[in-house]
Amino acid sequence: MRTLTRGRAAIGGVVAMLGLCGALGTAPAGAESAPSPPAAFAICAACHSTQPGETRYGPSLAHIAGRKAGSLPGYNYSAALGKSGLTWTFATLDEWLTSPQRKVPGTKMPFAGISDEARRRKLVAYLMTLK
């Protein structure tokens, strides 16, 4: 009976902690969740994964922030992108997603770009969280 009472108390404490975290808008340490992708990410998801090591038609976007363009092992990039010298920052991703072919002529990414600045910047902000 004593063990059962302790078990209930422990469960009650966890439930109370989770309720408090929910009320404060925080999660317990180690329980971080990835941010939700914006609607504009749907077009990216058709070709790209956000999981490390998962290559689809395009390379994984996991850990893209700070990565050299054309450097992810296991993906066959265009020579143009490999030689571009770009590092993926907020600014370079914003320019890239405006018009990949204009930013790096000769890239093989078949994407016209996102002209809507607000949509594009929300997307770039999300990509920068994929650490």
Domain 41-127 has CATH 1.10.150.120: no
Domain ranges of the chain: 1-33, 41-127
Vertex 51 angle, CA 45 and 56, to 5°: 50
Report the candidate in 43, 26, 39 with the shortest Cα–Cα distance to residue 118. Answer: 39
The answer to whether the beta carbons of residues 111 and 43 sit under 8 Å apart is yes
pLDDT of residue 63: 96
Task: Indicate whether this model's pTM tops 0.75.
Answer: no
Q: What is the pLDDT of residues 62-76, one digit of tens each?
A: 999 999 999 999 999
Under DSSP, the state recorded for 17 is H
The neighbouring-strand residues paired with 68 are 87
Q: What confidence tier does 38 reach under pLDDT thresholds 50, 70, 90?
A: very high
pLDDT of residue 33: 62
Q: What is the pLDDT of residues 10-33, one digit of tens each?
A: 333 333 333 333 333 333 344 356
Report the candidate in 75, 82, 64 with the shortest Cα–Cα distance to residue 123. Answer: 64
pLDDT of residue 13: 37
pLDDT of residue 32: 53
pLDDT of residue 20: 30
